[in-house]
Amino acid sequence: MDIADKLPGVGTTIFTVMSRLAVEHGAVNLGQGIPDFQPPPRLVDLVEMHMRAGLNQYAPMAGDPLLRERIAADHAARHGVAVDPEHEITVTAGGTEALFCAIQATVGPGDEVVLLDPAYDSYAPAAVLAGARILRVPLTRPDFQPDWEALAAALSPRTRLVVVNNPNNPTGQVLDRASLDRLAALLEPTRAWLLADEVYERLTFDGRRHATALAHPGLRPRCFAVYSFGKVFDATGWKVGYCIAPPQATREFRKVHQFVTFAVNAPVQRALADFLAEAPGYGAEVAARAEARRNLFGRLMTGTRLRLLPSHGTYFQLVDYSAVSSLPDLEFCRQLVERHGVAVIPLSPFQERPSDDRLLRCCFAKEPATLELAAERLAAL
Ligand code: PMP
Ligand code: GLN
């Protein structure tokens, strides 16, 4: 039987490919964004407790009401943002499902979606499946900030969605409040929704505070904001995230969500609700630990010929390898894993087309021993 190719040009994601190669070659894996340490033990205990207590059937479609309340309280406490847990929060199977549902809910054939390039890999396929056309606006070098004129030029009456990832994977850059002001001014005359991918919101460094689109009065009414507990609690395998959007947008979002997953893992949701109340300061500790790991990675890499670009957030850092090789990034990364035993992620898959950048992305959410071993191997380059 023949089958249509609904996602031409899409293969297996680079994260899966590199993790598989890392296993095959016994490499240190600084590729896929996965911590090599465990979530807080208390959180694991809470999941077990709720499973044993019998919380093992479908959760409510929009999410455990207690978790939604605690999420609202958390956003109020940290950002002074008022969110209605009943009508504005939907718990999803990770940030990925939230991104997918927001895109399906907002765009269709004839609509345009604007992405900032390099962009996280899941946005474009979701927009293509919805039948929308994608326009990519390059982030400027060397600091990967938006090119406001180019963004203004890309917007038109056909623009239905603009996707902004802050803090940014893969660049590690963050947008400040002034950038959100500029974004709001550009979007103001349009009918474009904003998809604010803020899954790394708690991971900002060097005293920078995350500027959430939800706290911006110009952006809030047009914003779907997406979060991931996997990133906050070092439990990427649990796949629980959520989306915050105005009530009417949330209604449309839930129409999609109910037929994608219907509802999310019940005991994990309740455990997260408990943990948010028990340990409200945990997110700040996570950021401090991530910053220390970034600093260690930076110190270790001074022993190599690779040059680090600054990372102000997420748990990723771009690395320039032009002093070591002139190979295109995909080939260089393949050699690195096969010959030197270190897996990293090339920048190209985040971009519309490969550029002349000689950049790769390293994940520093790793134990010191892992980073040390990687640096030792990279020093041989
Ligand atoms: N957005 C970005 C920018 C990400 O890096 C990721 C994955 N780490 C996600 C969304 C998806 O998050 P989740 O793993 O919760 O699906
Ligand atoms: N977000 C993770 C990263 O950027 C990967 C998630 C995935 O493998 N889909 O590494």
CATH of the domain at 256: 3.40.640.10
Q: Is the Cβ–Cβ distance between 253 and 95 less than 8 Å?
A: no
Q: Are 231 and 20 in contact (CB under 8 A)?
A: no
Segment 175-191 shows an average pLDDT of 98
pLDDT greater than 90 at residue 369: yes
Handedness of CA 346, 350, 353, 359 (dihedral sign): negative
pLDDT score for 328: 96
Whether the per-residue pLDDT at 278 is higher than 90: the answer is: yes
pLDDT of residue 107: 98
pLDDT (average), residues 122-128: 98
- Quote the ligand 2 centre to 337 CA distance (angstroms): 18
Q: How confident is the model at residue 354 (pLDDT cuts 50, 70, 90)?
A: confident
Q: What is the pLDDT of residues 286-308, one digit of tens each?
A: 999 999 999 999 999 999 999 99
Mean pLDDT of all residues in 332-340? 96
Rg (CA), the chain: 20
Segment 360-367 mean pLDDT: 98
Q: Find the ligand nearest to 200 CA.
A: 1
* Any atom of ligand 1 within 6 Å of the Cβ of 167: no
Residues 303 and 368 in one domain: yes
Query: Coil, helix or strand for 351?
Result: coil
- The residue among 228, 247, 278 that closes a domain is 278
Question: Quick one: tokens of 230?
Answer: 């996997």
**CATH number of the domain that residue 329 is part of:** 3.90.1150.10
Domain boundary among the residues 229, 255, 278 is at: 278
Structure confidence at residue 355 as a pLDDT band (50, 70, 90) = confident
Residue 215 lies in a domain: yes
Q: Is residue 157 part of a domain?
A: yes
- Look at residue 236 and tell me if it is in a domain: yes
Same domain, 24 and 45: no
Ligand 2 pocket, residues with Cβ under 6 angstroms? 13, 15, 32-33, 169
Are 28 and 111 part of one and the same domain?
no
Which pLDDT does position 356 carry in this prediction? Answer: 85
Cα(269)–Cα(229) distance, rounded to whole angstroms?
10
140-143-144-148 Cα dihedral, nearest 10 degrees: -50
Same domain, 139 and 69: yes
**In whole angstroms, what is the distance from residue 306 CA to residue 30 CA?**
14
3-class SS of residue 7: coil
Q: Does residue 213 sit within a domain?
A: yes
Maximum distance among all alpha carbons in the chain? 58
Give the chain's domain count: 2
Tell me which residue of 206, 234, 230 sits closest to 35, measured CA to CA: 234
DSSP state of 59: P
Distance from residue 40's CA to the centre of ligand 2 (Å)? 21
Q: Nearest 5 degrees, angle CA 202-CA 208-CA 212?
A: 55
Q: Are residues 262 and 317 in the same domain?
A: no
> Do 30 and 167 reside in the same domain of the chain?
no
Cβ proximity of 210 and 202 under 8 Å? yes
In which band, very low, low, confident or very high, does the pLDDT at 124 lie, cut at 50, 70 and 90? very high
Mean pLDDT of 299-328: 97
Q: Exposure string (b/e) for 35-63, b if CB count within 10 Å is 16 or more? A: beeebbeebeebbeebeeeebeeebeebb
Which ligand lies nearest to the CA atom of residue 31 in the structure? Answer: 2
Residue where one domain finishes, among candidates 278, 311, 326: 278
345 within some domain: yes
- Residues 166, 79 share a domain: yes
Per-residue pLDDT, 143: 94
Q: Which atom of ligand 1 is nearest to the CA of 228?
A: 15
The tens digit of pLDDT for each residue in 205-233 reads 999 999 999 999 999 999 999 999 998 89
Does 100 share its domain with 175?
Answer: yes
Q: Do the domain assignments include residue 85?
A: yes
Same domain, 264 and 300: no
Cα–Cα distance between 375 and 161 in angstroms, integer?
41
Residue 290 lies in a domain: yes
Residue 165 domain flag: yes
Residue 231: per-residue pLDDT: 86
Evaluate: CB of 95 within 6 angstroms of ligand 1.
yes
| Ligand 2 closest atom vs CA 345 | 10
Q: Can you give the pTM of this predicted structure?
A: 0.98
pLDDT score for 353: 87
Same domain, 86 and 206: yes
Residue from 15, 316, 350, 363 to probe ligand 2 pocket by mutation (most atoms less than 8 Å from CB): 15
- Residue numbers of the domain that contains 356: 14-39+283-378
Q: Are 321 and 306 in contact (CB under 8 A)?
A: yes
One domain for residues 234 and 347: no
pLDDT over 90 (residue 370): yes
Same domain, 87 and 229: yes
Does ligand 1 come within 6 angstroms of the Cβ of 94? yes
The model's pLDDT over 251-271, given as tens digits with 9 standing for 90+, comes to 999 999 999 999 999 999 999
Count the helices and strands in the chain (H runs, E runs). 14, 13
Distance from the CA of 15 to the center of ligand 2, in angstroms? 6
